[in-house]
Amino acid sequence: MADTDAIKSRLDVVEIISERVQLQKAGRNYKANCPFHNEKTPSFIVDPGRQSWRCFGQCSEGGDVFNFLMKIDQIEFGEALGVLAQRAGVEIDKGGDPEKTNLHFEINNIALKFYQEALLSTEGSLAKTYLDKRGVSLEIREKFALGYSPRGRDSLKTHLAFHGVDLNKATECGLLVQSDDGRVRDFFWGRLMFPIHDRRGRVVGFGARALDDTMPKYINTAATPAFDKRRTLYGFHLSREAIRASNEGVIVEGYMDVIA
């Protein structure tokens, strides 16, 4: 996006990170103990040439100045965008773009169907086993449009390309992500997928649960023109009529709590 590119061009990742982490010069790069996990030997590397950072230790996290601020402060993309834009002196265009938003809905819907089909395939067996253990019936799985993101990091990307989707737009939707080596990969992989709908039933984003202990338990779509996590209630599109009829609703913590 033009805004993020303008911001990154005016900021130095080394300067931003050094305000939170004690960096040491290491050749062309900088190193430190990773701020995201305990370690004795520095594995956290900041590359000023690429304006990126990466942990080569336990957590294997990495990204740009936006990813760092989001992780270190535990904030969403939209908030990080505002903080860094102010620091860089870049004015963000807050005007909505209905055409772009509608395109996001379309791309998310293609991804939704892909994830649903993957859950029904043999590759989705681990996710199906998890749902079986949690007592989630086939009817409920279909009602909440649950899915599975295959472990292949290019699975959704290939599917979207086959359907003629602009991969840059899919990246804006949060479905794809650019890695440090410049490759565009799937953002969600090896996870049980929970599509998030707006009150009109349009898919605005996804929540995703890991099925083993090697990855963070839950990750979500970052803020996009179609999705604002703080203003979106999971499952509300299915319960709004009942809430209106009874004049009351119950808010619970997680996706599985809603489904239960």
Burial track 98-123 (b if 16+ CB lie within 10 A, e otherwise): eeeeebbbebbebbbebbbebbeeeb
Note the pLDDT of residue 78: 77
pLDDT tens-place string over residues 112-154: 999 999 999 999 999 999 999 999 999 999 999 999 999 989 9
Q: Which domains does the chain have, with CATH numbers?
A: 2-88 (3.90.580.10), 98-259 (3.90.980.10)
Beta carbons within 8 Å of 202's beta carbon, 6+ residues apart: 105, 108, 109, 226
Residue 244 confidence (pLDDT) above 70: no
pLDDT tens-place string over residues 191-220: 999 999 988 899 999 999 999 988 899 999
